[in-house]
Structure 1
């Protein structure tokens, strides 16, 4: 990679750090830019044209067959570099990759969650899934959870620098605390609660994703609609089912806007079942009647 490209990466990293972007976002943006710089290795990053960027995005989508999410991430990374480092306008992401339509996520029932947890024999894997469900933490938050973040005295877990670089607390289950203690005795983690294969490093998010998908398949729940994030959605939906107010759910999940949390109202089957249809209580009409004109 040319000295100009290395300097561009360094400058981009500085701007991302100043903007207090999460470590994951910084890593993803720099990775995408690195691929771009290598692809156009004979051109200085400051001399890229719109046609060159379109050519690269087309290469990702058509030649490599990358997913829409991957291509959008590349376009967003390029946009950041142009707007903040080069101070040049860049609008390709909004033109080619518009915001996708909002769809309600899949949710597992309480029985399915229980079936999943009961089917996992490995105590480390079971503890991870139990924490995912009982705390509503994101995949990256579970992966980087440290022993010192567990506050058993106040029955809570501190989520350090979650999405948006925000700290928050979420709840700790008494039953999960017992599982955590049993896990600790066997595995004796040092810093991170779930250690990876490399000493001093946390378990990778990819490995956690893999173990969850394997566990779902073994439990007979291997549908593609269920993922690690499904467990977080299930946590939030079941809280709403049990009468937890939306503001509390919002704080536990670490949402920045209540509107994001409100979708769990739509996912709650128990709440829907408690709704009385206005047609059934029309004046002069008995619920369940089926009167027809003759």
Structure 2
């Protein structure tokens, strides 16, 4: 089971983000990224919101760094750790735009992209961006097929109900022959989308029991990633941290996205060192 990080600072959701993150700057993010890379953590994440309506900011937060710029910066600071969007909203982008932008990120990072995607849930943001809310799930399915047809080739072709293209050149494209695609969501439909069109599922807002029940309904493909999440405080309670990771492993997690309690960026790095040691036991 691999451990990744829900990168602090870059997304500050009320009730989850620590107080120090509101004062942090790029040097704090650089410190954490280098520490995670040196310790051997598997991936860093960055999520996507373009503009949060003021009425939703109290619950969703207003601070969201752009994932392409952020992960490109982190790629230059690190050597091994993977760079995961968690998640990119498919309806906000044409698949070819994703393939070009994030394929370029895969190139400049040496093949370290993980493309986490979702169908989106904030109707007001769709409206602000002029994106289509109706049939967004069906559009996302077509976008996933189009992405698989275009991420790793200079000559993409796709014919679908919402996206169609051929006779073009897409350069640069992703370095990886198959970019891992993880689907975020909390529904049976999101799991089905992940199993049939992607390489992993990132459930959120569900209990372990609910996740087990949903997964029991499907046959998971070989090498399919189950990316679960955990809030951890390894220094204060190493036993509870180890127990939580073990519970998630038993639930089928192949990777865990960790939110780590900390009082500063240096404390966060100290927590990572303890977490790394606990995982190695």
Structure of higher CA gyration radius: 1
Structure having the higher helix fraction is 1
**Greater relative CO (CA pairs within 8 A, separation 6+):** 2
Structure having the higher strand fraction is 2
TM-score (norm 2): 0.29
TM-score (norm 1): 0.28
